[in-house]
């Protein structure tokens, strides 16, 4: 029986492409290409980074846990690895690629029969050490949500000065970049 933790995680994972499309489709470049300084992500970079995660991070690691356990540590993930293939692409292309890859990965995930026992299977993270499949799934969800909040924060930052005295009521304007 599929564990309820999987269905609950899927509720978020399947909504992320739609959420990003609603926020970003058709948005002008000053919003879509804004960032927080050197080596920080713009909204467009976030989508590229999420695409790269679909290609190389979440499902490949999940399969390593199921097939190899701790005997094969995960391949380290490069936060900026998306740049070579996905940097500078038009937003619509990024959103479509992310949607397609995410849908495909979640179809595969649903087919894996992740019951309570399988969620306790373990793998080896190259820096964090032993992790469970349940932790990987939860981290995937939180990683999505973290990038949604990052998109909102990066966009808000453009108006840090424009809000004038309202700044003290708008803590998003003074949160650290990430």
Contacting residues toward its own copies, per CB under 8 A: 5, 8, 11-12, 15, 18-19, 21-23, 27-28, 30-31, 125, 128-132, 134-136, 138-139, 141-143, 145-146, 148-149, 152-153, 155-156, 159, 162-166, 168-173, 175-176, 178
Min CB(75)–its own copies separation in Å: 16
Give the integer Cα–Cα distance in Å for 79 and 147. 12
Q: What is the CA radius of gyration of the chain?
A: 18
Give the residue among 1, 37, 43 at the shortest CA–CA distance from 21: 43
Min CB(41)–its own copies separation in Å: 13
Min CB(27)–its own copies separation in Å: 6
Beta carbon nearer to its own copies, 108 or 145:
145
Beta carbon nearer to its own copies, 83 or 125:
125
Min CB(109)–its own copies separation in Å: 17
Q: Are 95 and 47 in contact (CB under 8 A)?
A: yes
Min CB(69)–its own copies separation in Å: 16
Interhelix angle 43-56/91-110, nearest 10 degrees: 30
Beta carbon nearer to its own copies, 31 or 66:
31
Beta carbon nearer to its own copies, 1 or 162:
162
How many other CB atoms are found less than 10 A from the CB of residue 70?
15
Min CB(45)–its own copies separation in Å: 17
Region of residue 26 (phi > 0: left; psi between -120 and 50: alpha; otherwise: beta): left
Give the 3-state secondary structure of 115-161.
CHHHHCCEEEECCCEEEEHHHHHHHHHHHHHHHHHHHHHHHHHCCCC
Beta carbon nearer to its own copies, 14 or 55:
14
End-to-end CA distance of the chain: 38
């Amino acid at each position: 029986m599929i564990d309820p933790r999987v269905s609950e995680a899927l509720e978020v994972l399947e909504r992320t492409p739609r959420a990003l499309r609603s926020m970003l489709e058709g948005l002008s470049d000053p919003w879509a290409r804004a960032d927080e300084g050197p080596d920080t992500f713009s909204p467009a970079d976030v989508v590229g980074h999420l695409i790269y995660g679909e290609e190389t991070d979440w499902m490949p690691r999940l399969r390593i846990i199921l097939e190899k356990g701790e005997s094969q540590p995960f391949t380290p993930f490069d936060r900026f690895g998306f740049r070579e293939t996905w940097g500078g692409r038009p937003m619509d292309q990024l959103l479509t690629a992310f949607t397609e890859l995410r849908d495909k990965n979640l179809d595969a995930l649903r087919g894996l029969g992740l019951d309570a026992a399988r969620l306790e299977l373990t793998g080896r993270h190259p820096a964090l050490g032993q992790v469970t499949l349940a932790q990987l799934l939860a981290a995937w969800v939180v990683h999505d949500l973290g990038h949604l909040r990052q998109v909102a924060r990066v966009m808000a930052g453009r108006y840090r000065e424009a809000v004038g005295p309202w700044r003290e009521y708008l803590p998003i304007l003074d949160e650290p970049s990430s």
